Structure 1
Amino acid sequence: MTTIDRNKPILVTGGTGYLASWIVKQLLDQGFHVNTTIRNKSNQQKYQHLLNIEKESKGTLSIYEADLLLDHSFQEAMNGCELVIHTASPFKISGIKNADKELVQPALQGTRNVLFSANDTNSVKRVVLTSSIVAMIGDACDVKELNNGVFNEKSWNTTSSVSHQPYPYSKTMAEKEAWKIAEKQNRWDLVVINPGFILGPSLSQRSDSTSIELMIQLFSGKFKTGAPAGDHAIVDVRDVAHAHILAGLIATANGRHLAAAHQKDFLSISNVIRKQYPNYPVPQKYVPKWLFQLIAPFMGVSRKYVKCNVGYDFVFDNSYIKKDLKMSFISFEKTITDHFTQLVEDGLIPDLRS
C-alpha cells in the first residue's frame, strides 16, 4: 500500500504527447502541481496548449527539458516528486527504417533512465508506467493460443520481434525491463497501464500520433473503397488518462491493468459518423483480405502483418481494471463523435457536416 502526498509535485514524462497531455490536464484541473518533461523547451509552440490549460486550471505546471536517451535526464524534473507517471515512448507502426534504433532502444533506454532516476530520487514512492495492450498480445491471430481466445493481465506477447511487429516488441521489452528494475529495489512500487487502441479528442492540433493519423485517413476517404476486417480493443484517451491518475493515487493499486472498453472494427467507427454526417467518404464495406494483403506495402504495412491481423476477432477481459481502479468507461459513440468533432474544428479534416 502506497499513499501519495497530494501536496507534492507529480511528474508526467513526455507531456506534449496525445495521452500525456490529457493526464497533465486532468491533474491540473484537480489542483495538483505538475512537473512535465519535453525534448526541446525552446520550442514553446509544442507545449503552448499545456500553458493554456494551466491558466484555466486550479493547478500549477513546471516544464523541464529531458531526453529519453540521455542518462540522468529526468533527475531534475523528478526531484521532490512522490509519484512519477512515465508515458514518453516512441509510437510508430509504419515508415520504420531501423526498428531497433527508432523504437526498441529508445523505449528500453527511456524506461531505464526514468526508473534509474527513481532509484536515485529518495522522494519517489510510486511509478505508473504506460505500457500497451500489445505487450499482452502481438498479432490478432495469437488469440488461438490463449485460453478460449480471451486475453487479460496474465497474457504476454511472445511472437513479436525487431523484424516483425517492432512496436509491440518495443513495448513488451520495455515493460519487462521495468518489472525487472522495480523488483530489484523496495522503496517505490510499479503500477502498469496497458491501453488498447486509444481514440478520442486531442488537446493539441498535432497529427503525428498514429491514432490521430489513422482517424484522419479514415474520415478523409483513404479507406472509402473498403476497410480491413478485424476488431480492435478501443478505449477513450480521457479514460486512459484517468486510469493513470487512479493508478498513481489509489494506495492499493497493484500490477498490470488492461485498459480497453469496446471491441469494435473500422466499419463500426465509420458507421457512427455516417449516421450523423452522410457526406463523409467513410468505408461501408470490408476490403477483401487478399486485396489488402496485395496492396499492404503501399499502405505502409507488411503482408505478414495483414496475414496475422486482418479478419481476426478476439475477446479481452477488462474486469481487473474495473475492480482495482474502480474504472468505468466513456461510450464508444461519444469517443468517436468527440474525436471527429475535434479533427474538424482543428482543420485536420474538411468540414462536410452541413
Structure 2
Amino acid sequence: MNDVKQRVLVTGGTGYLAGWCIAMLLEQGYRVRTTVRSAAREQAVRDGVSTIVDPGDRLEFAVADLTADAGWGGAVAGCEHVLHVASPLGDENPRDADRLIAPARDGALRVLRAATAAGVRRVVMTSAANAASPASYTADGCTDETLWTLDHPSLPAYRRSKTLAERAAWDFMAGHAGPTTLATVLPGAVFGPLLSTANLGSVRIVQRLLQGRMPGVPRIGLEVVDVRDVADLHLRAMIAPAAAGERFLGTGEFMWMREIAAALRAGLGDAGTGVPTRQLPDVAVRLAAVVDRSLRPIMPGLGRRNRHSTEKARRILGWQPRPAADVVVDCARSLLEHKIV
C-alpha cells in the first residue's frame, strides 16, 4: 500500500456509493473521514468497508446532518478534498416536491460553505445524469454535460432535487474566489456489489426482479453503471487538475428492463429462473401507476431511449465503465450472498 496520503471527507458514509468511495480511498492510501447522522451508525460503516479493506486507524467519523449547520465545520477541518455523495433520505416522489428539493439544495450549500471556509482543494459532488437530460426524450437522442435539465413541476421530485442542488452548487462557486474548486459527477442507474444491506438504493430494482413477484417488466430503459466505476470516477475527478470546474457524466450501457432480466437469467443459472421476462404493455403500467405511487417516477421514461455521452470522462479522466450485463449479474450475486432476496 502507498504511504498515507491526505485526509478526504466523504459525506453520508452509510450510503451505497459512499461506502465504495470510502473503501477505494482507503485502498489507495488515503485517510478518510465520513459523516453519519448518528454515532450509532459508525460500526455498520466500518463493518461494510472492512469486507474490502482493513480501515485500521485511517477511518474516522463526524456526526453531521445535511438538514442542519451543526458539525460541518469540524467535519471538513484538516481535509484536502471532499466527496459530497450524501443525499437526503425520504420518499423519492413526495406529494410536496420541496420536501426533497430543499434538503438536497441546502445540504449541498452547507457542505460547500464549510469546505470553502476550510480551504479544501477540491469538492466532488454527486449529481445525476437526469440533471443533464431533455424534458422530452427522443428515440435516438444522446446528450452531454453541456445540457442542463430545465426544471418544471411536472418532473419527478428526485430529478428536480438533483438538478436544483447541482445548479445551486455551481452558482455558489461562481461567487467564490478562494482556492477551492468544484467538479460534479452525474451517474446513471447505479448497480453492483453491496458492502452492506443498510441502504439498497437503486439495487432494489434488481432485488425485485430476483424475487419474481412482478408479472412482467415495464418498457423502461436504464443506463447501467457499476457502483465501483462511479466511485472510481469520483476519485479521478478529485485529483485531476483538468477536472476543476467540470461536470462529468458517468453512465453505462443502455439496457431495457427486459434485457436486464434476460442477463440475470443467463448469468445466474437456477437462481435466475424466477426472473420475469415478459414485456408489460405500456397501458398496463400506466393504469397500475394510478393506484401505485411508487411507479409514477418511471412514467416519464416509459418507452423512451434517452442516452448520455461519457466521452468527456473517458478523454479527460481515462474512465472506463464495466459492461452493463456483468454489472447487473454481479449485483444479483451480491444480493443472493447477503441473503436479502
TM-score normalised by length of structure 1: 0.88
- Determine if contact 1:30/1:59 at 8 Å carries over to the other structure: no
* Contact 1:9–1:34, Cα closer than 8 Å, also in 2: yes
Question: Is contact 1:9-1:80 (8 Å) kept?
Answer: yes
Query: Structure 2 counterpart of 1:106, which letter?
Result: P
RMSD: 2.4
Deviations 1:237-265 (A, max 9, x none): 00000000000011222400010121111
Aligned equivalent of 1:108, options 96, 105, 108: 105
Equivalent residue in structure 2 for 1:240, among 217, 230, 234:
230
Deviant stretches of 4+, over 4 Å: 91-95, 302-305
Indicate the residue corresponding to 1:46 in structure 2. Answer: 44
The separation in 1 between residues aligned to 2:240 and 2:19, in whole angstroms, is 21
1:141-161 residue CA offsets vs partner (Å, 9 max, x unmatched) = x223x9x62211011111543
CA distance in 2, matches of 1:138, 1:211: 22
Q: Whole-Å Cα distance in 1 between the matches of residues 206 and 88 of structure 2?
A: 19
User: What is the Cα deviation at residue 73 of structure 1?
Assistant: 2.7
Q: Are 2:36 and 2:42, in contact at CA under 8 Å, matched by a contact in 1? A: no
Match of residue 129 from structure 1: 125
Is contact 2:124-2:238 (8 Å) kept?
A: yes
Return the TM-score normalized by structure 2.
Answer: 0.91
| Residues 1:59 and 1:260: Cα distance change in structure 2 (over 3 Å) | farther
Q: After superposition, where does 1:83-232 map in structure 2 within 5 Å?
A: 83-90=81-88, 94=92, 96-101=94-99, 103-122=100-119, 124-137=120-133, 142-144=136-138, 149-161=141-153, 164-186=155-177, 187-206=179-198, 208-223=199-214, 225-232=215-222
Distance 1:97 1:48, change over 3 A: farther
CA apart distance, 1:178 = 0.4
Kindly provide the amino acid, as one letter, of the partner of residue 134 in structure 1: N
Deviation at 1:51, TM superposition (A): 6.0
Moved more, 288-297 or 209-218: 209-218
Q: How does 1:45-84 map to 2 (within 5 A)?
A: 45-50=43-48, 52=50, 56-57=54-55, 60-84=58-82
Encode CA deviations 1:180-233: one digit per residue, 9 max, x unaligned: 111111321111100001011111122x4331222111111132x221113211
Measured against aligned partners, the alpha-carbon deviations of 1:298-340 in whole angstroms (never above 9, x if no partner) come to 443466852x321111332111110111001112232112111
Secondary structure in structure 1 of the residue aligned to 2:82: strand
1:17-42 superposed Cα distances (whole Å, 9 cap, x missing partner): 00000000000011110011000013
Q: How many Å apart are 1:280 and its aligned residue? A: 2.9
Work out the CA distance in 2 between the residues paired with 1:59 and 1:324.
Answer: 33
Q: Cα deviation per residue 1:34-89 (whole Å; 9 max; x = unaligned)?
A: 01100001344532425635862577111110010111531112111121110111
Give the equivalent residue in structure 2 for 1:352: none
- SS of aligned partner of 2:50: helix
Contact in 2 for aligned 1:32/1:58 (Cα 8 Å): no
Are residues 18 and 345 of structure 1, via their aligned partners in 2, closer, same or farther at CA, if it must alter by over 3 Å? Answer: same
Q: Any stretches of 5+ residues in structure 1 without a counterpart?
A: 350-354
Q: Partners of 2:298 and 2:324 in 1: how far apart? A: 26
Contact 2:6 2:80 (C-alpha < 8 Å) held by counterparts: yes
> AA paired with 2:144?
N
The verdict on how the C-alpha distance between 1:69 and 1:21 changes in structure 2, with shifts beyond 3 A counting, is same
Q: Partners in 2 of 1:62 and 1:189 — Cα distance? A: 24
1:277 paired to 2:277? no
Counterpart secondary structure, 1:252: helix
Q: Select the residue among 242, 247, 269 that pairs with 1:256.
A: 247
Aligned AA (2:340): L
Q: CA deviation at 1:297?
A: 3.6
**Secondary structure at 1:137 match in 2:** coil
Give percent identity, aligned residues only. 30
Give the gaps of 5 or more residues in structure 2: none
Whether contact under 8 Å (1:72, 1:117) holds in the other structure is no
Within 1, Cα distance between the matches of 2:103 and 2:273? Answer: 38
1:337 to 311, 323, 329: 329
